[in-house]
Structure 1
């Protein structure tokens, strides 16, 4: 767990430094080369810095141990950051759409090879960051790292639109294609829709976790199968589980023979808890409630 948390923090720190460098590069290039698309992308990257700082802060908080005020730990801090990043992405989508639609009603400007190079460098850089952070995020199940990865993916879309738009502008000037000068805003509109879709999916997942949405039915079925594998468990009354950020909390109610001693019940509870936690490393707590079961239930069972 500690190693995974360290890897996640490193991924977010790399993302933060990269976003700062890319923001300065894009804004400077946009001003020097009079490239509206690069300037808009730079402003978008400035929003990424805020989102990454939120992810970094939440990742640090989420690893704090449980205390009296937060008996189930601080894992949901990452989910709050994920929701915040989703809002940033949604605002970025509307910003890109606004800039693109406005550009359609303005005279097309000339494009430069330097602007194309800057956009392409951003595309490659962000794609590399996305691959790196999504791998770390999935390995650690860190919501803040995954949010950072999807933020990079949105930037990949934006940079790809800039490359296509600027490239079409340069090509259009060479071949005298008047329509090609508007390739950038058209691509920007398409990208804004992709980024908005990404933001909605992230936001929905964050809200589900904050509202105590259960884990997948398949995972619940796996937990139930583990419980049934113990001969002492005669009846399963309830199996519930919820994500709490990067970890899972399981709540179980099972029936065992009513004449078992307290010590026997205690030993069975510990065994069942270990069984589930060994099976799923994401589970950090299993709360087990034991109910009495009588053999007569077999005779009355349908």
Structure 2
């Protein structure tokens, strides 16, 4: 768990440093080269710095051990940061959409090859960051790292729009296509829709976790199958599991023979806990309630 946390922190630190560098690059290039596309993309990147700082802070908090005030740990700090990133992305999508629509009613701005080069560098860099962080996020099950990865993906969309818009404007200048000058705002509108969809998906997942949404049914089915391998478990009454940031807490109720001693019940509980935690390394706690089962009762399935 410590190694996974370190990998997640490293990914967020790399993202933060990259966002700062790209923001300075885009804003400077946008001002010097008089490119509104790059300037807008740079301002959008500045918002990413805030989101990445939130992800970094939450990732450090989430690794704190449980205490009296937070007996289940601090894992949901990552979920809060993920929800914050969703809000930042939604605001960025609205801003990009507004700027793009407004640009359709203004004289098109001239573009140059240096602006295209800066946008291309941002596109390649952000794509590499997305691939790196999404792999780390999935490997560590870190919600803050995953949110950072999707933030990079939103930047990939924005940078791609800038490359296409600037490239189309340059091509239009060469071929005499007046309409091509408006390629960038049109691409920006499409990007705003994609980023808004991304923000919705991140926000929905964060709210589900904060509202104690059950984990994937397939994962629950695997837990139940593990419980059935223990001969002393005669009935599965209930299986629940909820994500708590980068880890999972499982609650189960099972029926065991009513004449078992407390020691036997304790040993069964330890065996069940070990089974589930060995199967799923994301599980850090299994809370088990044993119910009495009598031989005359039918064997019931999970409900």
Question: TM-score, length-normalised on structure 2?
Answer: 0.98
Distance 2:298 2:52 in 1: 57
Q: Structure 1 residues 299, 197: CA separation in 2 closer, same or farther (over 3 Å shift)?
A: closer
Q: Which residue of 2 aligns with 1:98?
A: 98
Distance 1:109 1:74 in 2: 49
Q: Secondary structure at the match of 2:292?
A: strand
- Superposed counterparts of 1:169-188, under 5 Å: 169-188=169-188
Q: For the Cα contact (< 8 Å) 2:19–2:49, is it kept in 1?
A: yes
Q: Which residue of 1 aligns with 2:5?
A: 5
Distance 2:183 2:298 in 1: 72
Structure 1 residue 299, shift from structure 2 partner: 9.4
Q: Which residue of 2 aligns with 1:18?
A: 18
- Show structure 1 runs of 5+ residues with no match: none
- Superposed counterparts of 1:161-172, under 5 Å: 161-172=161-172
Deviation string, structure 1 residues 32-67 (Cα, Å, up to 9, x no partner): 011101000000000000000000000000000000
Distance 1:71 1:29 in 2: 50
Structure 1 residue 109, shift from structure 2 partner: 1.6
Q: Which residue of 2 aligns with 1:88?
A: 88
Q: For the Cα contact (< 8 Å) 2:253–2:288, is it kept in 1?
A: yes
| 2:26 is the counterpart of 1:55 | no
Deviation string, structure 1 residues 206-255 (Cα, Å, up to 9, x no partner): 00000000001111111011001100000111100000000000000000
Distance 1:296 1:214 in 2: 32
The number of residue pairs the alignment matches comes to: 301
Provide the aligned C-alpha RMSD in A. Answer: 1.1
Q: Secondary structure at the match of 1:296?
A: coil
Q: Secondary structure at the match of 1:14?
A: helix
Q: Secondary structure at the match of 2:297?
A: helix
Deviation string, structure 1 residues 12-35 (Cα, Å, up to 9, x no partner): 000000000000000000000111
Q: For the Cα contact (< 8 Å) 2:237–2:300, is it kept in 1?
A: no
Q: Secondary structure at the match of 1:107?
A: coil
Q: Which residue of 2 aligns with 1:267?
A: 267
Q: Secondary structure at the match of 1:297?
A: coil
- Show structure 2 runs of 5+ residues with no match: none
Q: Structure 1 residues 100, 300: CA separation in 2 closer, same or farther (over 3 Å shift)?
A: closer
Question: TM-score, length-normalised on structure 1?
Answer: 0.99
Distance 1:300 1:184 in 2: 62
Distance 2:200 2:52 in 1: 18
Distance 1:221 1:119 in 2: 47
Structure 1 residue 288, shift from structure 2 partner: 0.3
